[in-house]
Amino acid sequence: MKHYTHLFLDLDGTLSDSAPGIVRSAQYALEAFGIHVDNLDDLLCFVGPPLEESFQEFYHLTPSQADEAVKVYRRRYEKIGVYENALYPGIPQFLDKARQAGKVLMVATSKPQRMADLVLSHFGIADRFAFVGGREDSSRRTKEEVIRYVMKENGLTRTEDIVMIGDRKHDVLGAKAVGLDSVGVLYGYGSRDEFQAAGATYIVDTLKELEELLLA
């Protein structure tokens, strides 16, 4: 087991259970295109990956339609959906233990930068992080680009010092593209098969296992 000095954490599905707000906002956006989805579980694919990718992959919107769907999605999400959200139990304590162990905590999320800042402030955990990196529409559209941005802005070049923690294959694939190790957390919205296929360095079932892996 390597000794990592920097922990990069995803937000949705890793720090917080944000599914209710995300899936209801995706449902709202799809309605604008005449697509009616009654079972919200069918929309869990929207938790984690970049939104336009999910609109195209799972509902076959064109790139321009997907960009418009994201705009409709955000109209609901920014007013209502962002607050249909809750931290996973034990997250503040895990963050505190990690900092006490000397780890530098940073967020690397596909959520827009201003929304990530809003969520972290809303839950009162923004001060646990040395840096927060989110997506911007003109740049940083993929998880790989977000991770590279976080590294560049903080002058981090030693990939062996960093591990990316997330709940979907995009976290693992983004980390791999940059040369980072990764941890897939199964308490979020990904599956063991998904993580294994993507090549996660480690897979844990619970937050306790994550703590034992990285802080022991």
- For residue 205, the 8-state DSSP code is S
If one looks up domain 6-17+87-215 in CATH, what number appears?
A: 3.40.50.1000
| Angle CA 130–133–138, to nearest 5 | 155
Task: Inform me whether the pLDDT recorded for 1 exceeds 80.
Answer: no
Using pLDDT thresholds of 50, 70 and 90, give the confidence band for residue 49: confident
Using pLDDT thresholds of 50, 70 and 90, give the confidence band for residue 25: very high
| CATH superfamily label, 19-83 | Putative phosphatase; domain 2 (1.10.150.240)
Q: Sign of the C-alpha dihedral, residues 151, 106, 41, 38?
A: negative
Instruction: With residue 115 as reference, give the H or E element that holds it.
Output: helix 113-122
> Tens digits of per-residue pLDDT, 92-118?
999 999 999 999 999 999 998 999 999
Q: What is the pLDDT of residue 182?
A: 98
Residues that are catalytic: 10
> Tens digits of per-residue pLDDT, 164-212?
999 999 999 999 999 999 999 999 999 999 999 999 999 999 999 999 9
Beta bridge partners of 57: none
Helices 19-31 and 51-59: crossing angle, nearest 10°? 60
Return the domain boundaries, the chain: 6-17+87-215, 19-83
3-state secondary structure 24-79: HHHHHHHHCCCCCCCCHHHHHHHCCCCHHHHHHHHHCCCHHHHHHHHHHHHHHHCC
Q: What is the pLDDT of residue 206?
A: 98
> Tens digits of per-residue pLDDT, 66-89?
999 999 999 999 999 999 999 999
Cβ burial of 34 (10 Å; 0-12, 13-18, 19+) is exposed
